[in-house]
Amino acid sequence: MQRRRWLVGLLLACFVLSLGLVLAAETLRVSAPPWIFKKFPLEEAAQRFEADHPGVDVELTRVDKWSMGTYITDWKNGTTPFDVWVQGAGSMLAPIILGDWLEPLDDMLTGDMAEENFVGGFLAAAHYKKADGSGDYYPCLPFMGEVSIIGVNTEIMKQAGLWEDGKSVPITSWDEAAFFDWFNKLNDASPLGAHVQIWDREFMQYDYCGPLKAMTGTFMAADGKGFDFTSDAAHKWLTYLQKMNADGIGSWTISDEAGYSKWKTGGAGSFYAAQGHIMELVGITEDESDIAYLGWPGSDTNGSVIWTHSVWIPKVSSQKDLAKSFIREQVFSQYFQQWSFNNYGKLPTIKDYYGDGITWFQDQMPTILKVADASEPIPLFKDLEEYLDIISKYLPDAAFGRISVDDALHNIQEDSKDLDFTDVRVH
């Protein structure tokens, strides 16, 4: 009888203990799209965080499809399916920032993550005006940076005679003769064309704005209402794009996949894209010396276009402190930021992480950093989505030579004159 009592008591104690453990355990839900799981070691980050925080369970979710409508519905009801979201570029986040759905992360900008420790424009890409007009804040923090830059296939450059003293010969100026002379030389040695650019809805912004920024120092219209579609530089660049395509120098594609395919076959001379995507060629050739980087003429001082991938916390999350600890301790750790660069070429956002620990492309880092430091993100206009629709209606057509440069520039201005160009970012 007494043995039975002991047994029941023991079982009861076990039950209470388990219940206590379950109730005491905290769960941090971290969501990200599949590509982040590939290019940023989230599983390892979760394991490390759990080891450093006994009693905390990190629940990782791969979200195949970005479903902001569903999340907003949850947030309106005071719930959220995740506490931290790892990823998020500008235009994707604009609606939820305008809706004031994100937790301010200003208090995280201390210590190693102090504002001055971030790279040039990367942090600026996360600095927004408050929706109620009461100031500004950081609703997200950039943990990966991308910079638009020209990647060249070094073997083809050598064959084209554009390689001197172990370095690629840059495009000397925006002068038409010099510009096309450089590309013509490269074209003769490139089976798939001298230059690849992706002209989908996203990349067309970088294809157009990056070179303009290098040429003049800005890609914005003089009155701040949209991109520059009126200046001589705008006319010149769009004319060059048409000529490059017509002469067979420029191999334009309308999808990421087609652009990457052309570049990864190793038959294209140069590729204007995010530096990380350019590095993907190494995944095929397995030799980092197959790639070198160049800026457009003037980009070393005027910069190019950058964009970032950010981490953020929904305002209604009940695990904000834990989420902030995860971001600081794991997402912004030197190890994880450098892992992402060393394996996939994604740029760290903290300056100090560009030194020891970087295992490849060390000789290219000064060029990349120089361009990145002088660069700026695409503004987040209130009507950006509609603006992009208008631009994508004319700009790719002009680049492909289907409509005249004048028509394209005029139509974009005409169709977008009533849009709201208030930038929700702080400058």
Interface residue list for other proteins (CB under 8 A):
68-69, 72, 95-96, 98-99, 101, 131, 199-201, 253-255, 258, 385-386, 389, 392-397, 400, 402, 415
Q: Which residues of 154-193 are buried (b: 16+ CB within 10 A; e: fewer)?
A: bbbbebbebbeeeebbbbeebeeeebbebbebbbebbebb
**Which residue number, 206 or 353, has a Cβ lying nearer to other proteins?**
206
Q: How many residues does the chain have?
A: 427
Distance of closest approach, residue 215 Cβ to other proteins, in angstroms? 24
**d(Cα 210, Cα 217) in Å, to the nearest integer?**
10
Q: With beta carbons less than 8 A apart as the criterion, state whether 424 and 128 touch.
A: yes
CB of 259 to other proteins, least distance (A): 11
User: Smallest distance from the beta carbon of 300 to other proteins, in angstroms?
Assistant: 33
Decide whether 313 or 395 has the Cβ nearer to other proteins: 395
CA–CA dist 199, 210 (Å, integer): 13
For residue 13, how many other CB atoms are within 10 A of its CB? Answer: 10
Pick the closer one to other proteins by CB: 127 or 262: 262
Q: Residue written as tokens 């700009």?
A: 395
Shortest Å distance, C-beta 386 to other proteins: 7
Least distance to other proteins, CB of residue 60, Å: 25
Query: Rounded to whole angstroms, how far apart are CA atoms 241 and 400?
Result: 8
Closest approach, Cβ 192 to other proteins, in A, equals: 9
Nearest to 340 by CA among 143, 59, 120, 87: 143
> Least distance to other proteins from the beta carbon of 316, Å?
15
Q: Using the minimum distance from each CB to other proteins, give the nearer residue, 95 or 104.
A: 95
Rounded Cα–Cα distance for residues 233 and 212 (Å): 7
Alpha-carbon gap, residue 269 to 230, rounded angstroms: 31
360: Cβ contacts below 8 Å, ≥ 6 apart: 282, 288, 342
Nearer to other proteins, 277 or 324 (CB): 277
Min separation Cβ 197 and other proteins, Å? 13
**Inter-axis angle of helices 203-216 and 384-399, nearest 10:** 80
- Both tokens of 306, joined, read 């950058």
Tell the smallest beta-carbon distance from residue 262 to other proteins (Å): 9
User: 62 has which bridge partners?
Assistant: 32
Return the closest-CA partner of residue 293 out of 335, 347, 334. Answer: 347
Place of tokens 């479903």: 67
- The contacts of residue 255 (CB under 8 Å, 6+ apart) are 198, 200
Distance of CA 98 to the CA centre of its chain: 20
CB-nearer residue toward other proteins: 253 or 367 = 253
Residue 246: CB minimum distance to other proteins, A: 15
Residue 61 CB neighbours (<10 A): 11
Smaller CB separation from other proteins, 321 or 414: 414
Unique residue bearing structure tokens 């520039």: 409
- Token pair listed for 50: 């759990």
Return d(Cα 16, Cα 22) in angstroms, integer.
Answer: 10
CB 334 within 8 A of CB 357: yes
H runs (alpha helix) in 375-421? 384-399, 405-415
Q: State in angstroms the smallest separation of the CB of 393 from other proteins.
A: 5
Q: Which of 308, 309, 329, 322 is nearest to 82 (CA)?
A: 322
CB nearer to other proteins: give 229 or 394: 394
Q: Which is nearer to other proteins, 62 or 402 (CB)?
A: 402
Q: Which is nearer to other proteins, 357 or 401 (CB)?
A: 401
Nearer to other proteins, 168 or 253 (CB): 253
